[in-house]
Amino acid sequence: MRHRLTLIVFFLTIAAPATAQADWLLTPFAGINFGGSTAGEKVNYGASLAFMGAGILGFEVDFGFAPNFFEPDPDPFDLVGDSNVTTLMVNLVGGIPIGGQTGGGVRPYVSGGVGLLKTNVDSPDGFFSVHNNDFGVNVGAGVTGFFNDHIGVRGDLRYFRNLTDPEEDNEFDIDFGGFNFWRGTAGVVFRF
């Protein structure tokens, strides 16, 4: 009887879920922007830092930079000298770690939040220069796969759109603006 009880306790200990822990995820990424306001497919790069409390819910700070965002391919008339889009977003993240929070595993996730959409466009001869700082929103989804406790890869797809004050009448009104695009990225994830 004692051996059976010992075996039952042993198997219950092994089968019990591991204690939930928090994960920090640092992800440098690169990818393309497309659709919406882009002038063709444009390269982007950046990084995100996410905190996943107990592995399921968390938050993320996401920074992206896309050079030559408004320059058409090819640009025979050279109308745009330099252009770029910078995004800095704070997002809520929800993801389920399949396989646990240690070792190998997969974590599909969804995210969404608000932040800054900064656009810059300069003419080649310095005739005009347009710089906008708008509030914006983003929503997306992706999947992260881990090889071990600390290294993995991530694929991510997000939609970005600016927010505007439609009437500019000293009242707090928010509406979706006309500037929008999609961003697809891949990156290496460092979990600590």
What pLDDT is recorded for position 74? 63
Quote the CA–CA distance of 21 and 102 in Å, as a whole number.
9
Give CA torsion, residues 165, 166, 167, 168, to 10 deg: 20
Q: If the chain, 192 residues long, is cut into consecutive pieces of 10 residues, what is the mean pLDDT of each piece?
A: 57 48 91 91 96 88 94 63 91 90 90 96 77 95 95 98 79 86 98 91
Q: What is the pLDDT of residue 10?
A: 54
Determine the pLDDT at residue 40.
85
Is domain 19-191 annotated with CATH 2.40.160.20?
yes
103 contact partners, CB below 8 Å, separation of at least 6: 146, 148, 149
pLDDT, residue 54, reads 73
Q: What is the pLDDT of residue 180?
A: 96
Ranges of each domain in the chain: 19-191
Spatial CB neighbours of 67, under 8 Å, sequence gap ≥ 6: 42, 43, 83, 84
